[in-house]
């Protein structure tokens, strides 16, 4: 997972807004631009974006909501990685909305701060991001994550752009990869979870995410090769857990390093990110 040592190495390697950020923005634009030629209805494919907030048991959740301008659509909770809401994550949410989904880009740190805290991953890695978010992350446990997912799913179900009576998807990256597995699934709202280079999926204790895979769930668990090298037994534990319940689970170690799916990450790998994105769309098509 994205740990303090790795961040320190990235910072020491000379990551800066000027040297890294410009390339990241170019990569983000390329990754989030449709490869399909515009059709006759291209002018109608307008993505709406709004800043939103709503009550949860723990406070006021804030985030940004993206959806096509017309019709109703299956919904997705999009949890950003450790650097939070920022331009790269907005562009990923827009791309998902362009694929026909209503997407809530949720702020995992809402108990302490609202809105964007970092401009990009270079800003986070080079300017004390780890120390800043450490106390915010300390508030997460399986109960707070489940409450947040339930609150987000309930809010989405009330939106005019969301097709009613359909399951909700959850996707998370790095720190929030476990959010996509923890549910709650018992609410009969969340039916698909996608974890990309997620941390803490297999750990000690009864509330380890791999022990909470649900019978009616559809899962995509994409593991980075370096995370696999550090914890090679995790994929086996996940596969064993998936076999013990009646669900649809795809678990794969990708030939890319932690952070490969995120366009402003130093580890971004466009080819493998596109593979993972394609599998995400298959998951949602089948489950939502």
**Residue 189 domain-assigned?**
yes
Q: Is the pLDDT of residue 124 over 90?
A: yes
Q: Is the pLDDT of residue 110 over 60?
A: yes
- For 12-68, the DSSP string reads HTT--IIIIIHHHHHHHHHHTS-SSPP-TTGGG-PEEEEEEEEEETTEEEEEEEEEE
Would you state the pLDDT for residue 216?
78
**Residue 245 domain-assigned?**
yes
Q: How many other β-carbons are positioned within 10 Å of the β-carbon of residue 33?
A: 11
Distance CA 117, CA 217 (A): 33
Would you state the pLDDT for residue 18?
36
Q: Report which of 49, 79, 109 is spatially closest to residue 171, judged by C-alpha positions.
A: 79
Q: Is the pLDDT of residue 167 over 50?
A: yes
**Residue 65 domain-assigned?**
yes
DSSP state of 18: I
The rounded mean pLDDT for the chain is: 86
Give the burial class of 35: count Cβ atoms within 10 A of its Cβ; 0-12 exposed, 13-18 middle, 19 or more buried: exposed
The range of the structural domain enclosing residue 222 comes to 4-29+46-287
Cα dist from 118 to 1, 122, 125, 156, whole Å: 19, 9, 10, 26
**Residue 227 domain-assigned?**
yes
**Residue 85 domain-assigned?**
yes
**Residues 39-55, mean pLDDT to the nearest whole number:** 78
**Residues 156-176, mean pLDDT to the nearest whole number:** 95
**Residue 37 domain-assigned?**
no
Would you state the pLDDT for residue 182?
84
pLDDT digits (tens, 9 = 90+) for 56-82: 999 999 999 999 999 999 999 999 999
For residues 123 and 22, the model is more confident at: 123
Residues 195 and 261: beta-carbon distance below 8 Å: no
| Residues in Cβ contact with 33 at an 8 Å cutoff, skipping those fewer than 6 apart | none
Q: Report which of 224, 183, 233, 241 is spatially closest to residue 1, judged by C-alpha positions.
A: 224
pLDDT digits (tens, 9 = 90+) for 209-224: 888 888 878 999 999 9
What order do you get walking across the sheet with 218-224 strand by strand? 47-56, 59-68, 102-106, 75-79, 168-173, 190-196, 218-224, 248-254
**Residue 251 domain-assigned?**
yes
Distance CA 89, CA 73 (A): 20
Distance CA 240, CA 223 (A): 16
User: Which H or E element spans position 207?
Assistant: none
**Residue 206 domain-assigned?**
yes
pLDDT digits (tens, 9 = 90+) for 213-253: 888 789 999 999 999 999 999 999 999 988 888 678 999 99
pLDDT digits (tens, 9 = 90+) for 5-43: 655 554 445 444 433 444 444 444 444 433 333 344 444
CATH code, 77: 3.40.50.1820
The total number of structural domains in the chain stands at 1
Q: How confident is the model at residue 165 (pLDDT cuts 50, 70, 90)?
A: confident
Q: Is 274 helix (H, G, I), strand (E, B) or coil?
A: helix
Q: How confident is the model at residue 206 (pLDDT cuts 50, 70, 90)?
A: confident
């Amino acid at each position: 997972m994205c740990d303090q040592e790795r961040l320190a190495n990235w910072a020491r390697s000379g990551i800066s807004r000027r040297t890294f950020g410009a390339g990241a923005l170019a990569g983000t634009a390329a990754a989030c631009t449709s490869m399909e030629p515009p059709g006759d209805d291209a002018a109608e494919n307008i993505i709406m974006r709004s800043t939103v907030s709503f009550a949860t048991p723990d406070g006021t959740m804030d985030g940004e909501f993206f959806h096509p301008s017309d019709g109703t659509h299956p919904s997705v909770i999009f949890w950003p990685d450790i650097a939070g809401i920022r331009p790269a994550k907005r562009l990923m949410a827009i791309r998902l909305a362009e694929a026909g989904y209503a997407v809530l880009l949720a702020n995992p740190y809402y108990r302490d701060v609202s809105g964007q805290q970092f401009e990009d991953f270079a800003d986070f890695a080079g300017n004390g991001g780890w120390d800043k978010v450490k106390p915010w992350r300390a508030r997460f446990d399986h109960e707070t994550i489940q409450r947040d997912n339930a609150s987000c799913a309930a809010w989405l179900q009330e939106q005019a752009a969301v097709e009613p009576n359909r399951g909700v998807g959850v996707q998370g990256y790095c720190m929030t990869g476990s959010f996509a597995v923890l549910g709650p699934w018992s609410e009969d709202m969340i039916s698909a979870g996608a974890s990309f280079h997620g941390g803490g999926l297999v750990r000690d204790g009864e509330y380890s995410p791999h022990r909470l895979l649900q019978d009616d769930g559809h899962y995509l668990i994409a593991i980075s090769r370096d995370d696999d090298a550090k914890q090679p037994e995790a994929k086996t534990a996940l596969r064993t857990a998936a076999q013990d319940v009646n669900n649809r689970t795809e678990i794969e170690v990708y030939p890319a390093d932690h952070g490969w799916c995120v366009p402003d990450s130093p580890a971004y790998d466009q080819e493998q990110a596109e593979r993972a994105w394609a599998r995400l769309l298959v998951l949602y098509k089948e489950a939502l």
